[in-house]
Structure 1
Amino acid sequence: MTAGQVLKGIEFSHPGGATPLLLDLYLPAGSYAGADQDSEAGGPGFPAVIHFHGGGWRTGERSSLGPTVDGFGLSPIEQLVEAGFVVASADYRLSAAATFPAQLLDAKAAVRWLRTNAAHYNLDPDRIYAWGDSAGGHLASLVGLTTGAVEKGTSQTDDRVAAVAAWYPPTDLASMGRQARPDAVARADDPGSREALLIGAQPADAPDLAAAASPITYVHECAPPFLLIHGTADRFVPAAQSASLAEALQSAGAGVELLLIEGADHMWSLPDGSQAAARQATAATIDFFRRQAQKH
């Protein structure tokens, strides 16, 4: 990784009755903590990406992209930093600790913390983007689509993100079960599914809860640009989840790019064990954020 700073375990929120939520902050070469004056940095600051990890909302940890992707050694977070982005990878409450919408509130709190501290870390508050994989892609999508929804007791700081990239995200909990592949490893309508644990009920038995936790519910014409990447052989989250959200965004007049990677399973696993899908997804994500950053 190009020389820079990695600041680990920064507390950004402490929800009542929960343990403190932490994030890791990756600063690119030329950036530095403690700026507090844009004029010293010679410009508006670095663009920033906030990352939310996967794990079915019940496992996983910040700064991880899952065991398979981590095992490839591609370090997508570090690649983004080398491309000139500040990256924050944040915790959120898992489903064993709290049901939805706690996870979304935590994700929004991370965005607000990053914007509040933008000057201190020499980043541009108008170029903050969201990125996540699997459950984290679901949260990144919700963050992008629910801007301005301020909950009681939360900061009034803007929770807006300027673009979203999501890897194999659940987007419509009610339809996931029927969209599952014949060889699916997990289905949303299975008893005790990850989705059921997230909302506290089986999606089919609680359609209002399922809809409230589904990004597709919140699609609107002013949504930020989206990049959705999914493997066509995903046995955990059907590729139709990304395709359906892309279609809804396009129909609403919002900007969206959909990349389907042929033969790739969840976490970019391929039958030959190669890194090709993970490399393609990482390159497309960096290119997408670069193009977004260049617009401002």
Structure 2
Amino acid sequence: MSEPTGEAADANVSVHEGITYADREAGEMELDLYLPDEERPPLVVYVHGGGWIAETRDNVPDPERYAAEWGCAIASVSYRLAEVPDDAGPEIQGMYDPTNPTPRGAFPAHFVDVKAAIRWLRATAAEYGYDAERIAAWGSSAGGHLALLAGVVKDVMDLGETFDGELTKSVAPDTSGAVQAVVSWYGLTDFTFAADHAPGIPSLLLGGPASDHPKRFEQASPLTHVSADSPPTLLMHGRADEVVAVEHSRRFFDSLDEAGVNAVFYELHDRNHVWAERIEDIESERVAMDLLATEPTPSQSVYSATHVDEGETPEPLLDTALPAGPAAIEQFLARTIE
């Protein structure tokens, strides 16, 4: 086990920074691990946002605090980001930071890395002391898409024939990459829908417009892969989101419900992307949880799908009177992976 390399804000959390989980041609892929002083806690794998082209694993809401408060280990993972060509539009160029040290690669490299991180974390659980059988994925925006995809596609090799030649399992290949629960903040779920409403980044990510690559757009969409075996899911999305339309989470919730999967969907009134009130106020995920906890708390509508076999007692994923924010996520994790 590596020695802690950072001083946790909470004395009961040890921090291991810059752990290499994969060595790619483009460079080393790393993660940061936050371990609470608990015996075999469950693990939450956090996947950052940034439009698949920007940000780093530092773009995570206060992991030391929530590792301590929730009693969960938290791993914030890097994944290869998409290359940005010189002729990309101003919106994409505005997000791109050429000094970002994260290795670059073409989709499905993003998904391959997230699955590799999950397998590596499960394979090394005994070394660090968390429970390999209780793992949730949590992601925001582009990371929400990748977390949802990791939930509904159990094995990276199952993503689809369209990507067969681009899928690899070089990291802990005999270990499961499945997760037992998913939390998505304003994650994209349907690239075919996105292609009609925000074509720029999906086309960049998937190698061209949907008209040229319909199968890639379909297979990269978490919505395509929902089944009765999908894990319980907590969705949170702003109704006023101008970056990833709330319709993405609406469709995904409905699909989970139809498949008989337990899910909860928080739709926050008057909140934009990253929980900002206006698009010009959007900041990073580092402060996003604080925006949910402001007073007064955001108005919300909550939809719950609870499925039981005949004769069984319904067990909801959480008490829907809870406001969106850390308490709701904590209770969801407690009822799914604890």
Q: Does TM, normalized by the shorter one, top 0.5?
A: yes
Seq. identity, %: 36
Residue 37 of structure 2: aligned partner:
29
Letter paired with 1:22: E
Aligned residues of 2:34 and 2:67 also touching (Cα < 8 A): no
Aligned residues of 1:144 and 1:160 also touching (Cα < 8 A): yes
For 2:42, what is the secondary structure of its paired residue?
strand
Letter paired with 2:332: F
Matched, 1:85 2:72: yes
Aligned residues of 2:33 and 2:73 also touching (Cα < 8 A): yes
Q: TM-score normalized by structure 2?
A: 0.73
Counterpart-to-counterpart distance in 1, 2:325 and 2:187: 13
Residue correspondences, number: 261
The structure with higher relative contact order (CA 8 Å, sep 6+) is: 1
Instruction: Say which of 172, 176, 195 aligns to 1:158.
Output: 176
Residue 204 of structure 2: aligned partner:
197
For 1:114-133, list aligned pairs within 5 A.
Answer: 114-133=121-140
Instruction: Say which of 18, 43, 52 aligns to 1:57.
Output: 52
Aligned pair in 2 of structure 1 residues 76, 121: CA closer, same or farther (>3 Å)?
closer
Aligned residues of 1:93 and 1:106 also touching (Cα < 8 A): yes
Counterpart-to-counterpart distance in 2, 1:149 and 1:171: 17
Structure 1: tracts of 5 or more residues without a match: 31-40, 181-186
Runs of 4+ residues over 6 Å off in structure 1: 273-276
Residue 37 of structure 1: aligned partner:
none
Counterpart-to-counterpart distance in 1, 2:326 and 2:114: 22
Aligned residues of 1:148 and 1:158 also touching (Cα < 8 A): yes
Residue 134 of structure 1: aligned partner:
141
Q: TM-score normalized by structure 1?
A: 0.83
For 1:237-252, list aligned pairs within 5 A.
Answer: 237-252=244-259
Residues 154-209 of structure 1 show CA distances to partners (whole Å, capped at 9, x for unaligned) of 3121101100001000100111244x5xxxxxx2x2xxx22112111123432111
For 1:158, what is the secondary structure of its paired residue?
coil
Structure 2: tracts of 5 or more residues without a match: 1-8, 84-103, 158-166, 282-287, 294-323
Aligned residues of 1:13 and 1:21 also touching (Cα < 8 A): yes
Instruction: Say which of 12, 20, 37 aligns to 1:11.
Output: 20
Matched, 1:223 2:241: no
For 2:326, what is the secondary structure of its paired residue?
helix
Residue 35 of structure 1: aligned partner:
none
Residues 82-117 of structure 1 show CA distances to partners (whole Å, capped at 9, x for unaligned) of 220000000000011222111111000000111011
